[in-house]
Structure 1
Amino acid sequence: MQKGSAADDRLYGPLRQLLEKQTLPSLAFGMKSCSIKWKQVPQDQYLKGVRSGKNRSAPHPIWTEYQRTGKRVTKLIGYDCGKADLRRSKDLPTGDADFDYVYPLQIIGWTRGDCVSAIAQVLGADLVPIKSACFFCPASKQWELYWLAAHHPELMEAALQLERRALTGKHSRFDEVEFGATWDELVNNADRFPSTTTTVGLGRSFAWNQWARVNNAVDADFRVLRSPSDRQRFVDMADALRSDDNALDQRTKRAVISLALAA
């Protein structure tokens, strides 16, 4: 996808909506509504139904029956016992007006590695999924950007277009006076953005477009390099930068999954 080209109509809802609105995911601005909007709400609507609008639907029979009998639906939440999830899940609620919440992985004491091992042993290493996140998630680590460029260059290009449109479009928060140059000029000519509290890209403090240029991941038109040697370089950098903190999934080195199987 070339710089400034139109978005592919086949791209899925969250990306298409952001491109139309010329903005970035809420997480890029320090908010955390993405999972609620695109994960939690659709699940709740599937169960409880929707009274009006394009998603109008009847309640699921389970919800109807539970409402009639006074039973409560229990949601199983997948926080594990790794450091990151323990930090994120501190003081979590046990329920709300509609649901009870249970955290089974924390009850049995499993970490992400335990989950990878169990899936690999029962279903095979090829069926260990990658994490549930948008490919343009602002929480992505740099090793994930290399992985995306290596395995899905077309998605990396879509993310770069999303960022460019948001930072140069009608809703851009970028202040030319503060930085002394336009966003495009800094992306194309500087190694980094000046220190600021203003969001400058999908990485909040850094722009994916600038990262891609500085790390020689794209050509002059910001198309991801696709030669076998470039792809191997991206794979090697992803492996070198990846840590085992909370990133154990199908993108992990085979050796790591093999160790999990042997444990």
Structure 2
Amino acid sequence: EQYLAGLAEGVTLSYGKGVSFPVILSQRGEVLHNHRHDGILNKGNLLLVDAGAENNFRYTSDYTRTLPVDGVFETKQREIYEIVLRANTEAIVSLKPDIYYRDVHLFASQIIAEGLKELGLMKGDIQEAVKVGAHALFFPHGLGHQMGLDVHDMENLGENFVGYDDTISRSKQFGLSALRMGRKLQEGFVITVEPGIYFIPDLIDIWKKERKFEQFINYAKVEEYRDFGGIRIEDDVLITGNSHRVLGPPLAKTVDELQKMICS
């Protein structure tokens, strides 16, 4: 892991000012913002890579891909990956000016919850499950943030001042409260779209002990995924006059694209 993280840092320095934030590269994808790179790549594991560059004009990027170490997704990995990919692509398609980004977050959350229900990990009324935040066991962070001359642009002014305004306030609900950007999108905004699904053992244990959202979460099934790790897919998107544009050259993202890239 350390070697790969070093390669990424070297490339960014060769072409610009270096990384836009400390590289996240780990087989422990369920650990959010994990900056440790002390693991050895093992067959059957997933490698989560969240990294970005700062160019010579000081503008930043922030991408995430999750890769099978040996080039082949196992069945469970493929199933979870396809859910995250669907949330990522459909959320991006929905982007345009004058819609609340919090609504896009909830839209992606709905897709994730529906996919997890299909696998037997969630149950019951999925719309209600998302409303009360039951899906946050698996998706405990926000869908994305603004980006520009800083990877979390202007947040030193205060997230609540940058990501929210007089028309929308930050939620106090677990998961949704981590959404950095909730207000209406405007032409010229650059935002990240980064849904994920994670199986965090400590969080699972806490919720299970508290019998939290038992009507929506199949804890017996969740135990089968305890050591799964996590998957996140992230792209950078510009809001245009009436739509959006994904920035940068296309990066391998589908299961087939990733497997072909690694095996080549």
TM-score (norm 1): 0.24
Structure having the higher strand fraction is 2
TM-score (norm 2): 0.24
Structure number, greater radius of gyration? 1
